[in-house]
Amino acid sequence: MADTDEAFLNSDDVEPGERIGGIVEFRPDADDTNVRLDRFVTDARQDLSRAYVQELIDDGAVLVDGQHRRASFKLTPGETVTVDIPPPVVFDLKPEAIAISVVFEDEHMLILDKPAGLVVHPAPGHPSGTLVNALLHHAPQISIGGSNRPGIVHRLDKDTSGLMVVAKSDAAQQSLLGQWADHSVRKGYLTLVTGILDDDEATIDAPIGRDPQQRQRMAAHAKGKPAVTHFTTLERLATTTYAEVVIDTGRTHQIRVHFAFIGHPVVGDAVYGHDRATAQRREEPWLRRHFLHAHRLGLRLMDGREMTFESPLPSELSTVLELQRVAARGWAEPEP
């Protein structure tokens, strides 16, 4: 049974290990009274789509107090919901001669600058032409190990560009996973958002989970997982703001969801942008993706050195930024 969850495939910077197989248990509380079984499981395991959870229920992989129930079964506090999640389907991964921009490489890890448009790992709908296929060609020693994501410890959305680290050895993978677990990895992003941010510096602290109304999207709501985003305003332009962003957590689409939540969606974001961001995309027709770039990555190498890597804005983003600066200067000039 294939998992068709697009949100996981196209995640901004998701914490490692969210999707694993195995048996997990959940117990509904008072707030879950009369909530549908499929809705409850989807909220509890936000890395699984509702359609996929319904497949699990139909296959008998979801039980309530040991009994098979329908997806529409209404829950009662005190019951135990058991979910048997099968391991993900492993593709026959093939090396492909896809060019990648390597920023740093040693025998243990590789830092690369991912372009927008490149999917990180194979999944239903994207069996080839991914970063993983390119990595297997560039560094054949990376162990597949029954995974679709050899060496991958974090991910960027297909349309987010910027720095990623890939483990080339098992020891490096464990080290990097440990650094993510203790929040010592330093990740910085550059973004252009619609409207003018009032604060020079601020923190957005709002839980993120699947949108209850549109399950293919994420949203800020009380039942989500904790998510914290810090931003620093770099430039206020005519109708947009250029900002640097640092995230404490790595929820699916976190930066895009948080800025949409405060009313300043990322420029060019067709999913969370609403009217202003999509209008901005029409005004900048050469911007065919959202304006989000992972420009800084700091971590500890296997020899103990702490290093920080940086990536400049790609040309399509720097062009849009410069045009916004020109527009801002035009707005600031007094009429003769």
Residue 311 has pLDDT above 50, yes or no: yes
Among 12, 113, 157, 159, the one annotated catalytic: 157
Looking at the predicted structure, is the pLDDT value of residue 86 above 90?
no
User: Sign of torsion, CA 164 166 172 177?
Assistant: positive
Q: Tell which of 61, 85, 109 closes a domain.
A: 85
Q: Give the E-state strand segments of 66-220 in sequence order.
A: 67-68, 81-85, 101-105, 109-114, 161-167, 186-194, 201-205, 208-210, 218-220
**Please, which residues have CB within 8 angstroms of residue 26's CB and are 6 or more apart in sequence?**
40, 41, 44, 80, 81, 83
Residue 157 among the catalytic residues? yes
CA distances from 220 to 115, 211, 212, 334 (A): 28, 8, 10, 41
Residue that finishes a domain, picked among 182, 217, 243: 182
Q: Is residue 6 part of a domain?
A: no
User: Would the pLDDT of 44 be above 90?
Assistant: no
Report yes or no on 92 lying in a domain: no
170 within domain boundaries:
yes
Residues 323 and 238 in one domain: yes
- Domain membership flag for residue 301: no
Q: Domain containing 255 — which CATH number?
A: 3.30.2350.10
Same domain, 43 and 141: no
Are 176 and 219 in the same domain? no
For residues 153 and 220, membership in a common domain is answered with no
| Residue 7 placed within a domain | no
Same domain assignment for residues 321 and 240:
yes
Q: Closest Cα partner for 172 from 9, 298, 304, 311?
A: 304
Question: pLDDT tens digits for 255-278?
Answer: 999 999 999 999 999 899 876 555
Domain that holds residue 126: 101-182
Tell me the per-residue pLDDT of 12-24, one tens digit each, with 9 for 90 and over.
444 444 445 678 8
Q: How confident is the model at residue 329 (pLDDT cuts 50, 70, 90)?
A: confident
Query: Looking at residue 29, which CATH number applies to its domain?
Result: 3.10.290.10
Closest to 193 in 3D by CA, of 128, 260, 271: 260
In a domain, residue 250? The reply is yes
Contacts of 334 (CB under 8 A, 6+ apart): none
